[in-house]
């Protein structure tokens, strides 16, 4: 073999890499390691993200808002950002029955301050209350001989806010109601007659549904139902509200009756049987029967308002269970009763989870579970519900 041929056969194969690039590689490989001083001055220290607290992700990792996409639910959005559903509801003035739509912007962090902050109450003039499962603002106010408006003002809440177990509420002293009054502009007294004869009320600046209901001896639920409002509705100065005292409201709730079909009778018997199994009283069973009649006419419906399903028209998006679980009539009845036999645990609140439900008027006890826009309808089936209990029980 000739020298020329050998040289030809041993010639290295070109890789097509520019000389400049090879030079860079060589310089990189040959460069001495950076000193400790250079790493501390040229490279910022990286702090690993700490796990978020139970209440939600930190502000550094959670955006301040989120635009709802098709298929989103409030609970899914909350889980995506490691937040609690109750917090997202409260920050956006929503209730468990609220519906979100694509394009809707949700707040994912609490506001820095309420829109109309109330003057702070002196620390010596208030105590605190830790919310437990089943608590309502009204019940907390009654426990401490305070008012709903005072607790709202002391904690920066509104009528659409949601409280949750573990939350700490400031409880103002008796002077708290006076503090609330000073936070609103001075207004003339409403031009209405006494509570026993009044039929309407014109809203003035600074008023709330709770305050108006208290003024006329009614309840917020009754006032909302009379005016076709929900807990997330907003009232405004100049708006005319229908108002009635508690006696007048109850007199308008005429009793209804109905003969049940075979399907309805079967569901009524199921409600009674499940009630006996979980230790419910006759009144609790009557409440369940009346509620089932109002919500679905005692039928296990596969459709309803928004995503409501089943005998009690419970909503998957509000955490009552999956569609299949809600359509399980026995399970959904257990969820309505609540208590120790509730398959949802403490994620939802049934009748027996509500403090003092036995002492509430019939329609208010059902309303405390269902949060309906028409609470007076439950009471219209009270007499008939006891008749069904005697017939099918």
CB 59 within 8 A of CB 109: yes
Cβ atoms of residues 170 and 128 within 8 Å: yes
pLDDT at 168: 84
Percent of the chain residues past pLDDT 90, beyond the cut: 30
pLDDT given at position 107:
86
The pLDDT assigned to 181 comes to 34
CA-to-CA dists, residue 169 to 91, 140, 150, 164, 209, angstroms? 16, 9, 11, 10, 21
| Residue 335, C-beta contacts closer than 8 angstroms, at least 6 positions apart | 312, 314, 320, 321, 342, 343, 344, 348, 350
Residue-level pLDDT at 310:
96
Angle between helices 382-392 and 262-277 (to 10 degrees): 80
User: Where does 124-264 show beta strands of DSSP type E?
Assistant: 126-130, 168-172, 200-202, 240-242
DSSP string, 216-253: TT--HHHHHHHTT--TT----TT-EEE---HHHHHHT-
How close are the terminal C-alpha atoms of the chain, in Å? 111
Asked if 320 and 333 count as a contact pair (C-beta separation under 8 A), the reply is no
Three-class secondary structure of residue 84 per DSSP? coil
Cα–Cα distance measured from residue 303 to residue 40, given in angstroms and rounded to the nearest whole number? 63
| Average confidence (pLDDT) per 10 residues, the chain, 393 residues | 51 49 45 44 43 44 85 84 82 74 81 49 62 77 80 76 78 50 37 48 81 77 71 76 54 74 95 96 95 95 91 94 96 96 92 92 92 87 92 89
User: pLDDT by residue (tens digit) across 42-58?
Assistant: 444 444 444 334 444 44
Q: What gap in Å lies between CA 342 and CA 136, rounded to an integer?
A: 19
Tokens of 145: 């001989």
pTM comes to 0.41
Q: Which residues pair with 67 in a beta bridge?
A: 105
pLDDT tens digits along 103-142: 778 888 887 644 444 444 444 445 888 888 767 777 788 7
Exposure of 287 by Cβ count < 10 A (0-12 exposed, 13-18 middle, 19+ buried)?
buried
- Residue 97 has a pLDDT of 65
Distance (Å, rounded) from C-alpha 180 to C-alpha 206? 9
Cα 220 from Cα 79, distance rounded (Å): 32
Can you tell me the distance from the alpha carbon of 152 to that of 258, in angstroms, rounded to the nearest whole number? 42
What are the tokens at 370?
């269902």
């Amino acid at each position: 073999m000739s020298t020329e041929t050998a040289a030809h056969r041993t010639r290295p194969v070109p890789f097509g890499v520019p000389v400049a690039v090879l030079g860079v590689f060589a310089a990189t490989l040959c460069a001495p390691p950076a000193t400790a001083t250079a790493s501390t001055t040229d490279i910022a220290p990286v702090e690993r993200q700490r796990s978020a607290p139970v209440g939600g992700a930190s502000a550094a990792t959670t955006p301040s808002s989120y635009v709802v996409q098709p298929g989103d639910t409030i609970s899914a959005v909350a889980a995506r950002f490691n937040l609690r559903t109750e917090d997202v509801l409260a920050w956006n003035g929503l209730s468990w029955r609220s519906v979100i739509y694509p394009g809707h912007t949700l707040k994912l962090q609490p506001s820095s301050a309420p829109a109309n902050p109330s003057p702070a109450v002196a620390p010596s003039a208030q105590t605190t209350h830790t919310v437990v499962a089943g608590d309502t603002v009204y019940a907390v106010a009654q426990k401490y001989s305070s008012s709903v408006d005072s607790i709202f003002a002391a904690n920066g809440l509104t009528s659409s806010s949601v409280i949750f177990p573990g939350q700490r509420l400031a409880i103002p002293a008796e002077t708290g109601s006076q503090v609330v009054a000073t936070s609103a502009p001075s207004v003339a007294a409403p031009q209405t007659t006494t509570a026993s004869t009044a039929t309407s009320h014109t809203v003035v600046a600074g008023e709330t549904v709770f305050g108006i209901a208290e003024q006329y001896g009614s309840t917020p639920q009754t006032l909302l139902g009379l005016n076709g409002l929900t807990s997330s509705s907003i009232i405004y100065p100049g708006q005319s509200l229908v108002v009635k005292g508690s006696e007048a409201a109850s007199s308008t709730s005429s009793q209804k009756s109905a003969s049940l079909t075979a399907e309805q009778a079967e569901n009524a018997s199921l409600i009674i049987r499940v009630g006996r199994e979980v230790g419910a009283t006759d009144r609790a069973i009557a409440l369940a029967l009346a509620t089932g009649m109002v919500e679905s006419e005692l039928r296990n419906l596969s459709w309803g308002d928004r995503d409501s399903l089943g005998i009690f028209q419970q909503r998957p998006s509000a955490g009552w269970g999956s569609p299949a679980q809600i359509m399980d009539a026995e399970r959904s009845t257990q969820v309505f009763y609540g208590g120790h036999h509730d398959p949802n645990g403490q994620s939802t609140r049934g009748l027996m989870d509500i403090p003092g439900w036995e002492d509430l008027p019939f329609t208010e006890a059902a309303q405390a579970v269902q949060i309906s826009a028409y609470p007076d309808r439950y009471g219209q089936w009270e007499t008939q519900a006891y008749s069904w209990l005697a017939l099918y029980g």
